[in-house]
Every structure is written in C-alpha cells, then in structure tokens.
Structure 1
C-alpha cells in the first residue's frame, strides 16, 4: 500500500507560480522501521543520560569528600606519618605520632615508659620552683621507687642518683632517668612500632587518600561503561 503526501512550496507573491508536487512513500515497512529507529535512539539517549547523571554524582561525591578533607591536609598527614620513621624524637613531638605510639605501648603493656617520659617533660616545664618538690615526689613514687604502681625499668645506678636528687629537687632531677627510658623505647619499642600493622596500615591509608593519580585511575575504570555507551550511541545516530 502506498500513501501520497502532498508538499506545497512556500508562497512567493513575486515569484513564478509553481505547481505543487508530491512524494510517494511506502507507509507499511518504512513507518515500522522509522518507529524502531526512534525507539532505539530514545533508549540509548536515556541510557546515556543515566550514565551522565551517575558520573556527575560520583564527581560531586568526590568533591564533597575533598571539601571535608582537603588534599593538602591529607598530603601533610602522609608526609608526617612518613617522618615518624626518621627518629623517635620526631614521632614523640608530633601530636598524632605520640598518640599512635602511646596506644601501641598500651597494647604491649609497657605504657609506663611513655607515661614517665611525658611526666618528666611536664616537670621540666614547671614555671615556679616552689612547685618542683611536690611534683618530683609524685613522679618518684609513681614511677621510680621500688614497687611503684608504674615502676619503670632503670638500672641500680640511675635509680640511686635519681633518689639522691629528691633531697633537693631541681629542673634536671629526672634527666638521667628520662634519658635511660628514652633509650629503652628507642632501641626496643620504637622499631617494633614501625613494623606493626597499626603503623603500616595508617601509612598506607594516608598514601592512598593523598595520591591523586590512583583516584583518577579508579574513576576512569568506573566510567568505561559510559564511554562504550557514548561511542555506541554516536555511531547509531
């Protein structure tokens, strides 16, 4: 069956009159094909639209995460975490490093060492000399004297010198004992901390968060389906 479609040219008053013309199309098969093509094109446009929305959502989610935790702060965190392996001193004078190391010592049941070292640091920062004797007595009874609640492992000579310093406490009364405990942590606990799962996991996490190349690579894989759909859609049209 054929359908005759009449097409009229645009009217032009000053131009020559033209006869209307017509075009014959096959309404049976061509209409079905046309509807199928339109349906496929519409389906692919919808698919492409959904993938675009998904891609925008992921980008917005990434940007919100970056707003909460800036790249600079994560890079700094990763660098500081790496610096902890340079020396025990660097670790102890970093807030997060000190916290992580203290937790590690608690798991090893040797947290009295870091508690004593911190108590000595606080003691040396005492501004009024009149407050030194009571603070010195408290530290000595808690960490140094025999059967103290948190007795630290000091050799006999160091314990004797520290006990003599208690007769007239000054800012340096615990320097020898603090140095001995520092060396003990540096040679014993600190190397184990650097090899512990807690430190390694923390370091790997900071590297992963602060590495922009890995994030872009992961986003690219997630968008592979979108690229294939876009290429297919363009070719079909």
Structure 2
C-alpha cells in the first residue's frame, strides 16, 4: 500500500522547480488513506455517475473514483488540470489569480510542462496571450477542451471499467486486488526480508 506513495516524490523531483505544484498534489495523496476507512460507494450513487459526466465530477466520491481510473491509464494530468482550473476560478484577489495562473500554465500548458495536457494550437495561443493579466476566464477555453476530451474519451472507458462495474454491484473493486497483491508481497518479503528492511 505504501509503494504508490513512494512513487509520488520521484515524480515531483522531476518537476522540482514547480513548488506550488506540490500543493495541488498533496490533498489528493492525503485523502487516499481516509477513503479506505470510509464505507464504500453505494450502487445507487454509482448509477448516478453513469447518467452524465457532469454528475460524476460533481460528487467527491465520483471525482476520486474517476481520478483513480485515470491514474491506471496514466492520464491523470487531465483531471488534475480541470481541478486546478476549478480552484483557480475561486481565487479572491488579483495576486491569487496571477500566482495560480503562473503555476497552472507552467505545470500543464507550456511546452514540455511536467503534466502537459493535450491542447490544440489555437487554444494554447489564446491562453498564453492572457497570461500577462490573467482573468477568472483565462483557462476557460483550455478547461472546456480538456473536459470534452475526458467526456468523449476517458469517461466511456471508465463506465466500461471493472472498477466501475464493481461499484455498481456494491463491492469496492479497488480493495480486493490490493489485498491479494499485498498477500503475495508478504510471501515474497519473507523470502528476502533482510534486504528490504535495510532500505527502511
């Protein structure tokens, strides 16, 4: 269970120049252990997520489930960008707008950004031009593009995924494989426990 958490610092090291980016990531990392202790999502709740992409994203449990799914496809930058834009629009001052806009642009939009999202040239240009004096609407076009991408591409795959089908049947699909995997790790660890402990 700790192994995925160990991967995050390695990813962040590659983007160490973007310190504010850690703040975007930290809440998601911290929430992982809490979710395991909460009761699972009800099948009724999961059914609603299938009604529309908007309904899925409007509920915290749905957003979390979809984010986990995107991580399995290595495309979580899309939902992270969408979340960052939602947060950006709640900025209370011009200073906040400027600071967050710079972070979002450097993390998700500029060429070779650590979490670069797939935007067409025109949208990228429009967004770049408004970076001098960012407004609440600065990322609207880019956010809409990424939203449509997820809605048309990732969302249908999420609805067909084993994880989502498991939630519809009232079983926490993500937990069962994790338990099985940790048992196999335990067997392997017993065979070579000393080298592993020296790492810790």
Given the two structures, how large is their TM-score scaled by the length of structure 2?
0.64
The runs of at least 4 consecutive aligned structure 1 residues that moved more than 2 Å come to none
Alpha-carbon offset, residue 127 of structure 1:
1.5
Q: Which has the larger radius of gyration?
A: 1
Count of residues in Structure 1 that have an aligned counterpart in Structure 2? 134
**What CA deviation, in whole Å up to 9, does each residue of 1:117-162 have, x standing for no partner?**
0000000011122211111001000000000000000000000000
Q: CA deviation at 1:194?
A: 0.1
Which of these residues, 168, 188, 200, is aligned with residue 133 of structure 2?
Answer: 168
CA distance in 1, matches of 2:160, 2:110: 33
What value does the CA root-mean-square deviation take over the aligned residues? 1.7
Q: Tell me if structure 1 keeps the 8 A contact 2:118–2:146.
A: yes
Q: 2:43, 2:130 → 1: CA distance?
A: 43
Greater strand content? 1
Q: Is the 8 A contact 2:44 2:168 kept in 1?
A: no
Counterpart check, 1:125 vs 2:90: yes
Match of 1:156 among 71, 96, 121: 121
1:203 maps to 168
Output one character per residue of 1:149-201: Cα deviation in whole Å (capped at 9) or x when no partner: 00000000000000011011010100000000000000000000000000001
Q: 2:64 matched to 1:99?
A: yes
Structure 2: stretches of 5+ with no match in the other structure: 1-37, 172-200
TM (normalized to structure 1)? 0.54
| 2:43 is equivalent to residue 78 of structure 1 | yes
